[in-house]
Structure 1
Amino acid sequence: MTAISLKGVSHTFETRRTKLRALEDIDLEIGENEFVTLVGRSGCGKSTLLRMMAGLLRPTAGQVEVGGQAVTKPRRDVSLMFQRSALLPWRTVIENVMLPVEILRLDRRAHRTRAEQLLALTGLEGFEDRRPNELSGGMQQRVALCRALVHDPSVLLMDEPFAALDALTREELSLELQRIWGEERKTIVFVTHSIQEATLLADRIVVMSPRPGRIARILPVGADRPRSLGVTAAHDGELDRVGAELHELLFAREPAGVPLSLQEPERNR
């Protein structure tokens, strides 16, 4: 079943003096409970695409659908997580997690229980009454993840959520997100510049061409889950194979010396 559908989606940013084509003719279908990563050079329109899925930006052409309905504004069943946690410093951990519940005017008692369960799931049990400045950067992003999930959205959009963290914390949270997704089973679209993150997390990797962003290639990742990193990882070389192909797409010229930006985009199923 399709959770997100993009049909002929293009977007142009316009000012009085200039026009900038950010995206052009994007066709993509994302299945229910699928984990998809978006990868491409800076400026290729990954974040723009995510914001259109979230209803924060309208496409210049084409249509974005979630659950078979056109996206024309933000939806309560779609949650967006940014690169920085953006926690409110005067609120406690549990109060930050509960913020969407207050905004959406949901049942506080039921969602308080869910908030506590999510904090326990992410290893933050016992930190409910702490303030953000008492937490590490990785812990703050865990709180932001709990906040994004507390109202039980069907779709979670993640815009480089671990990019500002150190390498070890980033790897730890990537593994943690994989585990949480295995339990929560949301449709996740995850923007990243990291080849390692993309291959570890994704069912499919959508490779974007340089601006104007197009879908240059879609790479399926066939490795079994749960996945791990390092020399003890047993995936029959699948993650290494996909990672090598992704690296070649992003940094080399192919086929026959043709730059990625000039290749014919592939259509998804």
Structure 2
Amino acid sequence: MIQLSAVSKEFTNRKGTVRALHGIDLTAAEGEFVAVVGRSGCGKSTLLRLIAGLLPPSSGDIRIGGLPVTGPRREVAMLFQRPALLPWRSVLDNVLLPVEISGLPRAEYRDRAVRLLTTMGLDAFQRRLPHELSGGMQQRVALCRSLIQRPEVLLMDEPFSALDALTREELSVELQRIHLEYAATVVLVTHSVDEAVLLADRVVVLSPRPGQVRTVLDIGIPRPRSLGHDVHRTELARLSAELHELLLSGGG
């Protein structure tokens, strides 16, 4: 579904050239959940923006579904760290915003928007404004907005990092369920090793800048997963420890 071949990205400013990523080879199969971890500045978010078509690569090839990525595409949705909801629009209207931007019939998507909000436990908040919601509820709305057009690919840039630990874990459980239900290919950038192990089929570890793929760790644990009282918690803890060691030894 997603294929990156020898992808590099450089940024040039008055002070010179900064190489953010170098020689990235990476694939994500259809329906797979891939997490990307690494230390700050290693190019994780840049990698996500390249896949989304928001930035062009300096060299290399990026394809989704066999087609070259030359810009944003309707079948690719992106969820950012901040929900970025429009404060003057209701919850329901925020979810329907991509439909309006794409020039699609709003009426045909309204029922789907309501179903998504119901799935996220937000059915009673359709007419509320964003400031009336908690941070976790706002991010749930943003997730519904990302799913409204049934994307084949969902890119997530640290979507839970601004939330408290309990809300993060609750949303991680919700995201597992959403992934199983909608079967989109997901690439998640996160600073949280525990979050990566909890959610992903594979975890990609990037080296310090310029970011390169140092290793890819398979997470062969059945879903649903939990960091609490889970029959697989020993294996989850072992994988988390392995990732921590990789990052501390210069792997991210």
**Which TM-score bucket, shorter chain as reference?**
over 0.9
Give the RMSD, CA atoms, in angstroms: 1.0
Match of 1:183 in 2: 181
The corresponding residue for 1:216 is: 214
1:140 maps to 138
Helix, strand or coil: the match of 1:126?
helix
Query: d(CA) in 2 for partners of 1:102 and 1:36?
Result: 30
- Specify the alignment match of 2:30 in structure 1: 32
Runs of 4 or more consecutive aligned structure 1 residues displaced over 2 Å after TM superposition: none
1:99 aligns with 2:90: no
Asked if 1:243 corresponds to 2:240, the answer is yes
Any unmatched runs of 5+ in structure 2?
none
2:231 partner letter: A
Q: 1:9 touches 1:60 (CA, 8 Å); kept in 2? A: yes
Q: Secondary structure at the match of 2:125?
A: coil
Q: Which runs of 5+ in 1 are unaligned?
A: 253-258, 262-269
Whole-angstrom distance in 1 between the partners of 2:233 and 2:149: 38
Structure 1 residue 107: Cα displacement: 2.4
1:72-151 equivalences in 2 (<5 Å): 72-151=70-149
What is aligned with 1:264?
none
Query: Does the 8 A contact of 2:226 with 2:233 survive in 1?
Result: no
Question: Is residue 154 of structure 1 aligned with residue 152 of structure 2?
Answer: yes
Structure 2 SS opposite 1:6: strand
Query: Which residue identity does 1:29 align to in structure 2?
Result: T
Aligned-partner residue type, residue 242 of structure 2: E
Aligned to 2:251: 260
Which residue among 13, 16, 23 is the counterpart of 2:14?
16
Shift of 1:237: 2.5
Rounded Cα–Cα distance in structure 1 between residues aligned with 2:247 and 2:15: 32
Normalising by structure 1, we get a TM-score of 0.92
Kindly provide the CA deviation profile for residues 75-106 of structure 1, in whole angstroms up to 9, marking residues without a partner as x.
Answer: 00000110000000000000000000000111
How far is the alpha carbon of 1:241 from its aligned partner? 1.7
Aligned pairs for 1:199-214 within 5 A = 199-214=197-212
Answer 1 or 2: which has greater helix percent: 2
- How far is the alpha carbon of 1:236 from its aligned partner? 6.5
Matching residue's letter, 1:11: K
In the alignment, the residues of structure 1 paired with residue 15 and residue 190 of structure 2 have an alpha-carbon distance, to the nearest angstrom, of: 31
Question: Any idea what the Cα deviations from partners look like across 1:208-254, whole Å, max 9, x if unmatched?
Answer: 00000000010000111111122x211173211211110100113xx
3-state SS of the aligned residue for 1:237?
helix
- Output the CA distance in 2 between the equivalents of 1:178 and 1:148: 15
Q: Distance in 2 between matches of 1:176 and 1:233?
A: 16
Task: Tell me the residue number matched to 1:61.
Answer: 59
Counterpart Cα distance in 1 of 2:182 and 2:98: 18
How far apart in 2 are the matches of 1:85 and 1:213? 27
Separation (CA, whole Å) in 1 of partners of 2:140 and 2:104: 22
Q: Give CA deviations for 1:172-197 in whole Å, capped at 9, x if unaligned.
A: 11111111111111100000000110
Q: CA deviation at 1:18?
A: 1.0
1:121-177 C-alpha deviation (Å, 9 max, x unpaired): 111011100000000000000000000000111000000000001111111111111
